[in-house]
C-alpha cells in the first residue's frame, strides 16, 4: 500500500468513527496523537537572524555554504525521515568503515576547496574562516572535526609555529593539499598532562648530522595519536633532547612514519589503540621509535636549534621560559574544543526543546488535553537554564576566539589562562547538557538517529584531551596566584587577567535582595567579583601558610587543590559574565537586548544556585539563596515563550538536527518502515 493511500485511510477513520458493536459499551475510539509544528503556536518576539549573527559572530555566508555542501552530498549519509532530509554519520558501521568514511569526506571537502588557505592564508579573516568551517564540520561529526583538527591545528600548527621558513616552505602547502598527512605525537602511555615528564629520547649524531629518536621503555610509547593507526605519513615527535649527555628538555621534531604507499617506515612500530566509546572515525594509534634517524633540519627550531657540529643554541636561556615558549602555540586546540562544546550543546538543546514543544504527556484535569512537556515547570527547569548558559558561553567562546586570532606576544599568558578556564568550563557544561537533553527526550533520546544520546559518547573525551579539566583549573589558579603575589610584591594595582576589580573596595551584597536587585547588572557583577577576590585571598593565604610550615611551594599548591578548583571556576564564571555583558552593551534598547538580559540573569542566578561555594564561604545567606531559587523559577516561565526562537537563532539547518525535532509521528510511522 503506498503512503498516500495509507494516510488517506487513517484520516478517513478519524473523520468517520466506526459504530460500536454494543450500544451500552463505555469504550469509545480516541483520536490518534497528531504532530503540530511548534511554529503554529510559538511566535518570535525578537529578530532571530540578528541573534544568530550576534552569536555566530563571523563568516555567516561561509557557514551556510558549507552546510549546503554537506547536505547535498550522499557521503554525509542523507536520509529522509518524516518527510524531511537529515544528515548524520552512520554509527552502526564498524570502526574500520567509520575511519574510511572520514577519509572520503575529507577528500570531498578538499576537492570543494574547503581547506584552501588553512595554513598558507594570512591574517585574521583567514583564521576566522578556518574556525567557522571546523565548527560546521564538528556539528556533523566530531570524528571528522578531530581528524581534520589533528592534521591542520596540531601537525600543521606545530610546523607553522614551532618551525621556521625552511619548514614552512617544505611542509605547509603539502599539508594543506593532503599530500602529507600529519599527526601529533606528544602523549605517551606514561605521561599525558605532564609533558615535561615524557620519556622519548632524541640524541644528536654529529658524525652524520642526524637526530636519533628512541622509545627507551614501554611507558614511552606514543599513545592516543590521532591519525597514526592508519593514515598519517608524518608526525611531530615531542621528545627529550639529549646533547653531549645533557638533557635540554622537550623539543619537537618531524619524523616520517609511512611512505607514500602507506607502508610503515623502517624502525617504526605502529599499533592501533582499538575501539573507543566514541570518535571511532579517528584512527588513534601507538608509535614506537627504534633508532629512527632524521635530518638535523627536522628539528622545529623557532625556539632552539642545534648546529651542524652539535652545539645547542637558544636565545632563551631559562629552561622554564623555553618550555613555556614551546607550548604557547598549542592553545588553538583548547580554542577549538571550547567551540565544539558549545555547538554540540546547541544541537542537543535545539532537538530537546523542539521535541518538548510538540510532545505531550498527562493532563492536569479529568478528560483534559495532555500538556506539552515544556509547559511543565519542572521541564522548563531542566532545559532553559542550560539554554541560558549555552548563550552566555557562546559569547565567551567568541571572545576567546578573537583573543586568539588577534594574539600578540603580550597576550600569550592571558590566552593560556582564559583558554584553560573556558575549555574546562565549557566542556563540563556540554557533558551535563547532553545528559539532560538525552533524559528530556525520554526513550527517543536513546536512538542513534536522534543524535542527543550518541553525542554524549562522541564528546565525552573533551574533558580529557588538550589537558584534563581539573588540571587546567589548577593551572588557572596558579596563574592568578602569580598575579596576586606580583601585585603585592610591587605594591601596585592589579593589571591583567581581568583582576582589576581587586583594586576596588570589596563589594557589599544586600542581605535581602529584591527580584529587581537579583536581576541587576550591579548585583550580578558584584557577587561574582566578591567570590573571585575572596577565593584568591584565601588561596594565597593557604599556600603561604603551608610554605611557612616548611613545605615547598609545589606541595603547598597541591594540598590547596580544593580552593584552587573553586577559584578556577570563579575566574571562569566571572569572565563569561563579562562577555555576555559586553554583547548587551553593543545593542540598542529593544527586544534583542531585553532577551539577552533575561538570559544573562538566568546564567548568573543558576550559577549562584548550583555552586556550593556561594553558601560555603558565606557570599550568600540561606534566605538569599532561597530567593535566588525562586527567581530562577520565574525566569524559566519568562523564557518559556521565547524557547523556540532562541533555539532557532542557533542557525543550525534542520538537516543537522534529528527526526524528533520535527514530525516524530511520521518519522516513526509504519510507512517510514516500508520506505
pLDDT at position 34 is 83
The 10s digit of each residue's pLDDT in 144-157 is: 999 999 999 999 99
Q: Quickly state the pLDDT bin for 160 (edges 50, 70, 90).
A: very high
Arithmetic mean of pLDDT, 475-484: 96
Widest distance between CA atoms in the chain = 105
* C-beta of residue 12 within 8 angstroms of C-beta of residue 19: no
Is the four-CA dihedral 117, 118, 123, 129 of positive or negative sign?
Answer: positive
Asked if residue 665 has pLDDT above 90, the reply is yes
Arithmetic mean of pLDDT, 320-334: 81
Asked if residue 591 has pLDDT above 90, the reply is yes
* C-beta of residue 267 within 8 angstroms of C-beta of residue 130: no
Asked if residue 518 has pLDDT above 90, the reply is yes
Indicate which residue of 127, 176, 188, 466 is catalytic: 466
* C-beta of residue 372 within 8 angstroms of C-beta of residue 360: yes
The 10s digit of each residue's pLDDT in 126-142 is: 999 999 999 999 999 99
The 10s digit of each residue's pLDDT in 83-103 is: 999 999 999 999 999 999 999
Q: Which helix (H) or strand (E) holds 483?
A: helix 469-490
pLDDT at position 1 is 45
Q: Kindly give the interhelix angle for 331-356 and 377-405, rounded to the nearest 10 degrees.
A: 150
- Select from 202, 233, 207, 183 the least CA-distant residue to 299: 202
Q: Quickly state the pLDDT bin for 3 (edges 50, 70, 90).
A: low
pLDDT at position 18 is 45
CA distance to 63, 74, 290, 596, 610, per residue, from 601 (Å): 30, 43, 58, 8, 14
Is 9 or 84 the better-scoring residue by pLDDT? 84
pLDDT at position 30 is 54
Is 4 or 338 the better-scoring residue by pLDDT? 338
Arithmetic mean of pLDDT, 172-188: 97
Mean pLDDT (the chain) is: 93
Is the four-CA dihedral 645, 651, 655, 657 of positive or negative sign?
Answer: negative
Arithmetic mean of pLDDT, 453-470: 92
**390 known ligand binder:** no
Q: Is the pTM of this model over 0.85?
A: yes
The 10s digit of each residue's pLDDT in 630-657 is: 999 999 999 999 999 999 999 999 999 9
Residue 348: Cβ-neighbour burial (10 angstroms; 0-12, 13-18, 19+): buried
Arithmetic mean of pLDDT, 332-341: 95
Asked if residue 604 has pLDDT above 70, the reply is yes
Asked if residue 531 has pLDDT above 70, the reply is yes
- Please say if 466 is a catalytic residue: yes
Arithmetic mean of pLDDT, 458-476: 93
The 10s digit of each residue's pLDDT in 37-73 is: 999 999 999 999 999 999 999 999 999 999 999 999 9
Is 34 or 259 the better-scoring residue by pLDDT? 259
Asked if residue 400 has pLDDT above 80, the reply is yes
**226 known ligand binder:** yes
In the chain, % of residues over pLDDT 90 = 86
Asked if residue 7 has pLDDT above 80, the reply is no
The 10s digit of each residue's pLDDT in 203-232 is: 999 999 999 999 999 999 999 999 999 999
Q: Quickly state the pLDDT bin for 434 (edges 50, 70, 90).
A: very high
Amino acid at each position: 500500500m503506498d503512503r498516500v493511500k495509507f494516510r488517506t485511510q487513517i484520516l478517513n477513520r478519524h473523520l468517520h468513527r466506526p459504530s460500536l458493536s454494543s450500544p451500552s459499551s463505555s469504550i469509545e475510539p480516541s483520536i490518534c496523537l497528531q504532530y503540530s509544528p511548534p511554529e503554529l503556536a510559538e511566535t518570535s518576539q525578537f529578530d532571530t537572524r540578528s541573534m544568530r549573527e550576534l552569536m555566530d559572530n563571523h563568516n555567516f555566508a561561509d557557514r551556510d555554504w558549507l552546510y549546503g555542501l554537506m547536505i547535498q552530498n550522499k557521503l554525509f549519509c542523507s536520509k529522509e525521515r518524516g518527510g524531511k532530509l537529515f544528515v548524520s554519520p552512520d554509527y552502526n558501521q564498524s570502526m574500520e568503515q567509520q575511519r574510511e568514511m572520514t577519509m572520503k569526506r575529507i577528500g570531498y571537502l578538499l576537492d570543494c576547496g574547503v581547506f584552501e588557505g588553512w595554513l598558507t592564508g594570512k591574517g585574521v579573516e583567514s583564521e576566522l574562516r578556518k574556525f567557522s568551517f571546523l565548527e560546521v564540520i564538528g556539528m556533523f561529526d566530531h570524528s571528522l572535526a578531530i581528524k581534520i583538527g589533528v592534521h591542520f591545528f596540531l601537525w600543521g600548527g606545530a610546523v607553522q609555529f614551532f618551525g621556521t621558513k625552511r619548514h614552512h616552505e617544505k611542509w605547509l602547502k603539502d599539508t594543506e593539499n593532503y599530500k602529507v598527512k600529519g599527526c601529533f605525537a606528544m602523549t605517551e602511555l606514561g605521561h599525558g598532562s605532564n609533558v615535561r615528564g615524557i620519556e622519548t629520547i632524541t640524541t644528536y649524531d654529529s658524525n652524520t648530522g642526524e637526530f636519533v629518536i628512541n622509545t627507551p621503555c614501554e611507558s614511552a610509547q606514543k599513545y592516543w595519536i590521532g591519525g597514526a593507526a592508519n593514515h598519517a605519513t608524518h608526525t611531530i615527535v615531542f621528545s627529550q633532547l639529549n646533547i653531549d649527555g645533557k638533557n635540554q628538555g622537550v623539543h619537537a621534531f618531524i619524523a616520517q612514519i609511512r611512505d607514500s604507499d602507506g607502508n610503515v617506515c623502517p624502525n617504526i612500530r605502529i599499533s592501533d589503540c582499538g575501539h573507543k566509546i566514541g570518535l571511532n572515525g579517528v584512527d588513534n594509534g601507538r608509535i614506537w621509535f627504534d633508532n629512527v634517524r632524521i635530518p638535523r633540519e627536522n628539528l622545529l627550531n623557532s625556539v632552539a636549534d642545534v648546529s651542524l657540529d652539535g652545539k645547542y643554541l637558544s636565545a632563551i636561556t631559562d629552561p622554564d621560559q623555553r618550555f613555556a615558549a614551546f607550548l604557547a602555540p598549542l592553545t588553538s586546540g583548547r580554542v577549538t574544543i571550547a567551540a565544539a562544546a558549545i555547538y554540540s550543546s546547541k544541537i542537543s538543546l535545539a532537538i530537546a526543546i523542539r521535541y518538548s514543544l510538540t510532545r505531550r504527556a498527562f493532563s492536569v484535569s479529568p478528560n483534559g488535553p495532555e500538556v506539552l512537556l515544556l509547559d511543565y515547570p519542572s521541564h522548563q527547569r531542566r532545559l532553559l537554564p542550560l539554554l541560558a548558559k549555552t548563550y552566555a558561553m557562546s559569547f565567551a567562546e567568541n571572545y576567546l576566539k578573537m583573543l586568539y586570532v588577534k594574539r600578540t606576544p603580550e597576550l600569550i599568558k592571558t590566552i593560556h589562562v582564559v583558554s584553560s578556564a573556558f575549555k574546562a568550563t565549557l566542556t563540563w557544561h556540554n557533558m551535563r547538557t547532553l545528559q539532560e537533553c538525552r533524559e528530556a527526550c525520554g526513550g527517543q533520546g536513546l536512538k542513534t538517529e536522534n543524535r542527543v544520546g550518541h553525542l554524549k559518547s562522541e564528546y565525552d573525551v573533551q574533558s580529557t584531551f588538550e589537558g584534563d579539566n581539573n588540571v587546567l583549573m589548577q593551572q588557572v589558579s596558579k596563574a592568578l596566584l602569580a598575579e596576586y603575589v606580583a601585585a603585592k610584591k610591587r605594591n601596585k594595582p592589579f593589571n591583567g587577567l581581568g583582576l582589576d576589580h581587586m583594586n576596588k573596595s570589596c563589594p557589599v551584597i544586600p542581605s535581602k535582595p529584591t527580584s529587581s536587585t537579583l536581576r541587576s547588572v550591579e548585583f550580578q557583577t558584584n557577587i561574582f567579583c566578591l567570590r573571585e577576590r575572596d577565593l584568591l585571598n584565601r588561596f594565597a593565604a593557604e599556600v603561604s601558610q603551608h610554605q611557612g610550615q616548611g613545605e615547598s611551594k609545589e606541595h603547598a599548591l597541591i594540598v590547596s587543590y580544593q580552593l584552587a578548583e573553586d577559584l578556577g571556576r570563579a575566574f571562569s564564571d566571572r569572565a563569561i559574565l563579562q562577555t555576555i555583558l559586553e554583547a548587551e552593551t553593543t545593542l540598542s534598547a529593544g527586544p534583542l537586548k531585553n532577551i539577552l538580559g533575561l538570559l544573562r540573569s538566568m546564567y548568573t542566578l543558576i550559577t549562584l544556585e548550583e555552586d556550593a561555594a556561594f553558601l560555603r564561604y558565606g557570599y550568600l545567606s540561606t534566605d538569599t539563596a532561597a530567593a535566588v531559587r525562586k527567581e530562577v523559577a520565574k525566569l524559566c516561565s519568562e523564557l518559556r515563550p521565547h524557547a523556540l526562537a532562541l533555539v532557532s537563532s542557533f542557525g543550525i539547518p534542520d538537516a543537522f538536527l534529528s527526526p524528533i525535532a520535527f514530525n516524530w509521528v511520521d518519522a516513526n510511522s509504519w510507512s517510514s518502515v516500508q520506505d
